[in-house]
Amino acid sequence: MLVSASTSQIAEVRDFVGHHAEAYGFSAEDVHDIKLAVDEAYTNVIKHAYKFDDTKKVQVKILTGEKEFTISLSDEGVAFDPSAYTEPNVAERIMLRKRGGVGVYLIHKLMDHVEYRNEGTHNEILMSKKR
Amino acid sequence: MSSFTINSRTSDSVDILELTGELDAHTASHLEDALKVLIDTNRHKIVVNFTQLAYISSAGLGVFMAYIEDVRALGGDIKLTNMSDKVYNVFDLLGFPTLYDILDTEEEALVKFTS
Protein backbone atom coordinates (compact mmCIF):
# COMPACT_ATOMS: atom_id res chain seq x y z
CA MET A 1 0.00 0.00 0.00
CA LEU A 2 1.10 3.57 -0.69
CA VAL A 3 0.07 6.00 2.06
CA SER A 4 0.56 9.65 2.91
CA ALA A 5 3.12 10.31 5.63
CA SER A 6 0.47 11.42 8.09
CA THR A 7 -0.34 10.31 11.62
CA SER A 8 -3.98 10.10 10.46
CA GLN A 9 -2.93 7.01 8.47
CA ILE A 10 -1.26 5.10 11.34
CA ALA A 11 -4.33 3.05 12.22
CA GLU A 12 -4.83 2.12 8.56
CA VAL A 13 -1.20 0.99 8.23
CA ARG A 14 -1.46 -1.03 11.48
CA ASP A 15 -4.67 -2.69 10.31
CA PHE A 16 -3.23 -3.50 6.87
CA VAL A 17 -0.18 -5.19 8.38
CA GLY A 18 -2.18 -6.83 11.18
CA HIS A 19 -4.59 -8.37 8.66
CA HIS A 20 -1.71 -9.94 6.71
CA ALA A 21 0.06 -11.11 9.89
CA GLU A 22 -3.13 -12.84 11.07
CA ALA A 23 -3.60 -14.51 7.71
CA TYR A 24 0.03 -15.72 7.91
CA GLY A 25 -0.92 -17.56 11.11
CA PHE A 26 0.68 -15.47 13.86
CA SER A 27 -0.76 -15.54 17.39
CA ALA A 28 -2.72 -12.51 18.63
CA GLU A 29 0.34 -11.50 20.70
CA ASP A 30 2.67 -11.68 17.71
CA VAL A 31 0.18 -9.74 15.55
CA HIS A 32 0.13 -7.01 18.22
CA ASP A 33 3.94 -6.88 18.33
CA ILE A 34 4.19 -6.66 14.53
CA LYS A 35 1.58 -3.87 14.39
CA LEU A 36 3.44 -1.94 17.11
CA ALA A 37 6.82 -2.32 15.35
CA VAL A 38 5.33 -1.05 12.08
CA ASP A 39 3.60 1.84 13.90
CA GLU A 40 6.95 2.87 15.41
CA ALA A 41 8.77 2.65 12.06
CA TYR A 42 6.02 4.54 10.20
CA THR A 43 5.89 7.23 12.91
CA ASN A 44 9.66 7.64 12.63
CA VAL A 45 9.36 8.17 8.86
CA ILE A 46 6.70 10.85 9.41
CA LYS A 47 8.73 12.63 12.11
CA HIS A 48 12.34 12.18 11.08
CA ALA A 49 12.47 11.32 7.35
CA TYR A 50 9.69 13.70 6.21
CA LYS A 51 9.51 16.07 9.20
CA PHE A 52 5.69 16.03 9.22
CA ASP A 53 5.32 16.88 5.50
CA ASP A 54 2.12 14.94 4.78
CA THR A 55 2.37 15.49 1.03
CA LYS A 56 5.11 12.80 1.07
CA LYS A 57 4.40 9.12 0.60
CA VAL A 58 5.42 5.89 2.30
CA GLN A 59 5.33 2.52 0.57
CA VAL A 60 4.36 -0.39 2.85
CA LYS A 61 4.99 -3.90 1.53
CA ILE A 62 4.51 -7.36 2.99
CA LEU A 63 6.96 -10.09 1.99
CA THR A 64 6.17 -13.62 3.10
CA GLY A 65 8.47 -16.62 3.03
CA GLU A 66 7.97 -20.13 4.32
CA LYS A 67 9.29 -19.30 7.78
CA GLU A 68 9.51 -15.52 7.91
CA PHE A 69 7.11 -12.57 7.60
CA THR A 70 8.71 -9.27 6.57
CA ILE A 71 7.34 -5.75 6.40
CA SER A 72 9.12 -3.17 4.27
CA LEU A 73 8.63 0.58 4.66
CA SER A 74 10.18 2.81 2.00
CA ASP A 75 10.58 6.56 1.90
CA GLU A 76 12.50 9.26 0.01
CA GLY A 77 13.26 11.46 2.99
CA VAL A 78 16.17 12.01 5.39
CA ALA A 79 17.90 8.65 5.93
CA PHE A 80 18.14 7.06 9.37
CA ASP A 81 21.72 6.32 10.35
CA PRO A 82 21.70 3.07 12.33
CA SER A 83 25.40 3.47 13.20
CA ALA A 84 24.53 6.59 15.24
CA TYR A 85 21.89 4.74 17.24
CA THR A 86 22.47 3.89 20.90
CA GLU A 87 20.13 2.11 23.29
CA PRO A 88 18.03 4.73 25.12
CA ASN A 89 18.32 5.26 28.87
CA VAL A 90 14.62 5.69 29.69
CA ALA A 91 15.22 6.82 33.30
CA GLU A 92 17.59 9.54 32.08
CA ARG A 93 15.19 10.67 29.35
CA ILE A 94 12.42 11.02 31.95
CA MET A 95 14.70 13.08 34.21
CA LEU A 96 15.40 15.37 31.25
CA ARG A 97 11.65 15.50 30.45
CA LYS A 98 12.35 14.10 27.00
CA ARG A 99 9.62 12.14 25.35
CA GLY A 100 10.06 9.37 22.85
CA GLY A 101 13.37 8.34 21.37
CA VAL A 102 12.49 4.74 22.16
CA GLY A 103 10.76 3.64 18.93
CA VAL A 104 13.83 2.05 17.32
CA TYR A 105 14.58 0.21 20.57
CA LEU A 106 11.02 -1.19 20.59
CA ILE A 107 11.23 -2.27 16.94
CA HIS A 108 14.39 -4.28 17.68
CA LYS A 109 12.82 -5.81 20.81
CA LEU A 110 9.60 -6.79 19.02
CA MET A 111 11.02 -8.18 15.77
CA ASP A 112 13.54 -10.96 15.07
CA HIS A 113 15.51 -9.12 12.41
CA VAL A 114 15.71 -5.46 11.38
CA GLU A 115 17.63 -4.19 8.37
CA TYR A 116 18.10 -0.70 6.95
CA ARG A 117 18.83 -0.07 3.28
CA ASN A 118 19.76 3.20 1.63
CA GLU A 119 20.27 3.76 -2.10
CA GLY A 120 20.56 7.37 -3.14
CA THR A 121 17.38 9.08 -1.95
CA HIS A 122 15.59 5.77 -1.32
CA ASN A 123 15.45 4.50 2.27
CA GLU A 124 13.99 1.20 3.36
CA ILE A 125 13.51 -0.55 6.69
CA LEU A 126 12.86 -4.29 6.64
CA MET A 127 11.42 -5.85 9.80
CA SER A 128 11.08 -9.62 10.00
CA LYS A 129 9.47 -12.07 12.40
CA LYS A 130 9.73 -15.85 12.29
CA ARG A 131 6.69 -18.04 12.77
CA MET B 1 -8.24 6.76 11.74
CA SER B 2 -7.16 6.05 15.33
CA SER B 3 -9.99 6.46 17.79
CA PHE B 4 -9.22 7.77 21.26
CA THR B 5 -11.29 9.43 23.98
CA ILE B 6 -10.66 10.59 27.53
CA ASN B 7 -13.28 10.65 30.25
CA SER B 8 -12.29 12.83 33.22
CA ARG B 9 -13.57 12.36 36.77
CA THR B 10 -12.53 13.54 40.19
CA SER B 11 -12.50 11.73 43.51
CA ASP B 12 -11.77 14.24 46.31
CA SER B 13 -8.40 15.77 45.41
CA VAL B 14 -7.56 13.12 42.81
CA ASP B 15 -8.23 13.46 39.09
CA ILE B 16 -8.95 10.29 37.14
CA LEU B 17 -8.48 10.09 33.39
CA GLU B 18 -10.13 7.08 31.76
CA LEU B 19 -8.57 6.31 28.38
CA THR B 20 -10.50 4.53 25.63
CA GLY B 21 -9.26 3.37 22.23
CA GLU B 22 -5.83 3.68 20.67
CA LEU B 23 -3.06 5.94 21.97
CA ASP B 24 -0.52 6.59 19.21
CA ALA B 25 1.27 9.47 17.46
CA HIS B 26 -2.07 10.68 16.09
CA THR B 27 -3.91 10.76 19.42
CA ALA B 28 -1.12 11.43 21.96
CA SER B 29 -1.63 15.22 21.78
CA HIS B 30 -5.15 14.75 23.15
CA LEU B 31 -3.76 13.09 26.30
CA GLU B 32 -1.03 15.71 26.52
CA ASP B 33 -3.62 18.51 26.45
CA ALA B 34 -5.64 16.83 29.21
CA LEU B 35 -2.55 16.44 31.43
CA LYS B 36 -1.47 20.03 30.78
CA VAL B 37 -4.86 21.36 31.86
CA LEU B 38 -4.58 19.47 35.17
CA ILE B 39 -0.99 20.55 35.83
CA ASP B 40 -1.70 24.18 34.91
CA THR B 41 -4.61 24.25 37.39
CA ASN B 42 -2.49 22.78 40.20
CA ARG B 43 -4.09 19.36 40.05
CA HIS B 44 -1.14 17.04 40.61
CA LYS B 45 -2.68 13.84 41.94
CA ILE B 46 -3.55 12.02 38.76
CA VAL B 47 -4.75 8.48 38.11
CA VAL B 48 -4.81 7.22 34.53
CA ASN B 49 -7.17 4.27 34.14
CA PHE B 50 -6.31 2.07 31.13
CA THR B 51 -9.25 -0.36 31.33
CA GLN B 52 -10.62 0.60 27.91
CA LEU B 53 -7.28 1.34 26.24
CA ALA B 54 -6.77 -1.25 23.50
CA TYR B 55 -3.39 -0.08 22.19
CA ILE B 56 -0.42 2.13 23.04
CA SER B 57 2.71 3.03 21.07
CA SER B 58 5.82 4.87 22.25
CA ALA B 59 4.20 8.19 21.29
CA GLY B 60 1.66 7.52 24.04
CA LEU B 61 4.31 6.49 26.54
CA GLY B 62 6.22 9.65 25.62
CA VAL B 63 3.48 11.82 27.11
CA PHE B 64 4.02 10.19 30.50
CA MET B 65 7.80 10.53 30.08
CA ALA B 66 7.46 14.27 29.46
CA TYR B 67 5.30 15.14 32.48
CA ILE B 68 6.02 12.77 35.35
CA GLU B 69 9.00 14.73 36.72
CA ASP B 70 7.06 18.01 36.75
CA VAL B 71 4.12 16.43 38.56
CA ARG B 72 6.36 14.75 41.15
CA ALA B 73 8.31 17.97 41.71
CA LEU B 74 4.99 19.57 42.68
CA GLY B 75 4.29 16.86 45.24
CA GLY B 76 1.96 14.80 43.08
CA ASP B 77 2.19 11.70 40.92
CA ILE B 78 0.70 10.08 37.83
CA LYS B 79 -0.39 6.58 38.80
CA LEU B 80 -1.27 4.14 36.03
CA THR B 81 -3.93 1.47 36.59
CA ASN B 82 -5.98 -1.35 35.05
CA MET B 83 -3.69 -2.13 32.10
CA SER B 84 -4.35 -5.12 29.88
CA ASP B 85 -1.40 -7.53 29.51
CA LYS B 86 -0.87 -6.24 25.97
CA VAL B 87 -0.54 -2.62 27.08
CA TYR B 88 1.47 -3.48 30.20
CA ASN B 89 3.99 -5.40 28.09
CA VAL B 90 4.85 -2.24 26.13
CA PHE B 91 5.53 -0.34 29.38
CA ASP B 92 7.50 -3.33 30.64
CA LEU B 93 9.70 -3.54 27.54
CA LEU B 94 10.87 0.01 28.28
CA GLY B 95 11.44 -0.53 31.99
CA PHE B 96 8.55 1.67 33.11
CA PRO B 97 7.48 -0.56 36.05
CA THR B 98 10.52 0.58 38.06
CA LEU B 99 9.97 4.24 37.18
CA TYR B 100 6.17 4.59 37.47
CA ASP B 101 3.57 3.48 39.98
CA ILE B 102 1.65 0.91 37.92
CA LEU B 103 -1.23 -0.63 39.88
CA ASP B 104 -3.84 -3.30 39.21
CA THR B 105 -6.84 -1.16 40.19
CA GLU B 106 -7.92 2.46 40.37
CA GLU B 107 -8.97 1.90 43.99
CA GLU B 108 -5.36 1.01 44.96
CA ALA B 109 -4.16 4.25 43.40
CA LEU B 110 -6.79 6.31 45.24
CA VAL B 111 -5.85 4.66 48.56
CA LYS B 112 -2.17 5.45 47.97
CA PHE B 113 -2.98 9.09 47.26
CA THR B 114 -5.15 9.51 50.32
CA SER B 115 -3.11 7.52 52.85
Q: Does B84 touch chain A (CB under 8 A)?
A: no
In a domain, B115, yes or no: no
CB contact under 8 A, B95 and A90: yes
Residue B14's CATH number? 3.30.750.24
* Mean pLDDT on B52-64: 96
Q: Do B65 and A95 touch (CB under 8 A)?
A: no
The answer for B76, left when phi > 0, alpha when psi is -120 to 50, beta otherwise, is beta
Give the CA distances from residue B101 to residues A66, B72, B79, B106, in Å, rounded to whole numbers and listed in that order. Answer: 43, 12, 5, 12
Q: Select from B1, B77, B80 the least CA-distant residue to B39.
A: B77
> Chain B partners of A35 at a C-beta cutoff of 8 Å?
55
Whether the CA torsion B9, B14, B20, B23 is positive or negative: it is positive
Total domain count for chain B? 1
Whether B42 is covered by a domain: the verdict is yes
pLDDT digits (tens, 9 = 90+) for A19-33: 999 999 999 999 999
| Predicted complex ipTM | 0.93
**Domain spanning A2-130 has what CATH number?**
3.30.565.10
Rounded to whole angstroms, how far apart are CA atoms B2 and B24? 8
CB contact under 8 A, B57 and A39: yes
Q: Which domain holds residue B17?
A: 4-109
Question: What pLDDT, in 10s, does the model give residues A60-109?
Answer: 999 999 999 999 999 999 999 888 888 888 888 888 888 878 999 999 99
Work out the end-to-end distance of chain B between its first and last CA atoms, rounded to an integer number of angstroms: 41
